[in-house]
Amino acid sequence: MSGLLNGLIVLFAVSGLFFMLVAAIGVYRMPDVYTRMHAATKASTIGISGIAMAALFYFADTATTTRVILIILFFFLTAPVGAHALASAAYVINAPLWPQTRRFDLNKARILCPIRGGAASQQLATTAIELARQGQGALTFLHVINHNGSGAAAEPTQATDTLNDLRTLGQKALVVAQEQAQAQGITAQTEIRLGDLEQAIVQCVQEVDATLVVLGFPERDQATQQKMAEDEFWALAKAIQTQTGVQVQAIR
Amino acid sequence: MNNLTHWLLDSAMLLLAITIILCVIRLWRGPTIADRAVALDQITVEVVAIVVLYSMRVDDPVFLDAALVVALIGFLSTLAFARYIERGAQA
C-alpha cells in the first residue's frame, strides 16, 4: 500500500470520526429536540461518508466502491427524510422549544398604514387590511395631525379649538378603519400623532417595528395639483424608506 | 496491514463507542420521546460507522453489506418511530 493511499485513508477516517464526534456531542448537549436533530442529521451524514470513503480507499476495488457509494447515497437520501419525519412528530407532540429560541417569521408582516380620512382612506384601509390578512400580520393605523401652529389661528384658544376638531376628525377616521378591519377579523392598533407627517411616520415605524408602510397615492382633480401632490408623495415615500429602511408601498 | 493502521482503527472504534455512550445518556434522559428517537437514530448511524471500520480492521469487505443492512433498518425504524409518535399523540 502506497503512502498516498494510506494518507487518504487516515484523512477520510479522521475527518469522518471528527464529524461523528460532533454529531454525538450535539445530540448530548443541544438544548432541545430540534437542535439535537440538526446536529445528529447533518454532521453524522458527513461523518459516515468520511468513514465510508476511508473504506473505499482501503479496499480499493470495484465491489467495495459500489457498496461504499451505496452507503453514502443511502445516507444522503434517508437522513433528511428521517429527520423530517422525526421533526414533524416532535412538532405534533409539542416538544418544547429552547426557551431562548427567537421566532422570526418572515411572513408575519407588521404593517403601518397612515390615513387621512375620507373616501380615499377607506380604499387604502381596505388594501392594508387585505395585506395584513394575507401575511397574517399586525396592522397599525396612524393619523397625523399636520398642524403648523402659528398660521392657523391668531389666538391661542382658537388654535387649541382647531386642534381639538382635527383630533376628533382623525380619531373618527381611525375608528372607521379599525371597525373595517374588525369586520375582516383583524385587530388593528391605532395611533394619533401631532406634528410633521414624515417625522411622525418615521417615529411610528420605529415604535411598532413595522416591516411595511402602506401609503395612499394622492388623487387630485386638477392636473397641476396632481403633479405637485405626486412629487410630494414620492419625496415622502423616499424619505421614509431611507430613514427607516422599511419598504414603502403606494396604493392607488 | 501494518500495526499502525490497526491501532488507528481500534482507537477510532473506541472513540465511536464513547460517542454511543453520549447518545445513550441522551436516550436515557429524554426528556421527550422525540429526543429518544433522535438518540436512537444517531446510535444506529454510529453502529454503521463502527461496522465499516471493523470491515477495514478485519480486512473483509463483506461487512460493508452488513453496514448497509444496519443503515436500512435504522432508517426504517426511525420512520416507524416517528409515525408511532405522531399516532400516539392523536390517539
Closest CA in chain B for residue A75? B71
* Chain B interface disruption, residue of A2, A9, A22, A27, most B CBs within 10 A: A27
What residues in B contact A86, CB-CB < 8 Å? 34, 37-38, 41, 78, 81-82, 85
Please tell me the predicted confidence (pLDDT) of residue B20: 93
Please tell me the predicted confidence (pLDDT) of residue A249: 78
Higher pLDDT, A237 or A146: A237
pTM of the model: 0.60
Report domain extents, chain A.
3-92, 110-146+154-251
CA distance A12 to A22: 15
With a pLDDT cut of 90, the percent of chain B lying above it is 60
What residues in B contact A66, CB-CB < 8 Å? none
Record: contact B22-A25, CB cut-off 8 A:
yes
Per-residue pLDDT tens digits for B79-90:
998 999 888 766
| ipTM of the prediction | 0.91
Per-residue pLDDT tens digits for A115-148:
777 777 777 888 888 777 776 677 788 888 876 5
How many other C-beta atoms lie within 10 A of the C-beta of residue B78?
25
What residues in B contact A9, CB-CB < 8 Å? 5, 56
CATH of A110-146+154-251, one of 3.40.50.620, 3.40.50.10300, 3.40.50.300, 3.40.50.2020: 3.40.50.620
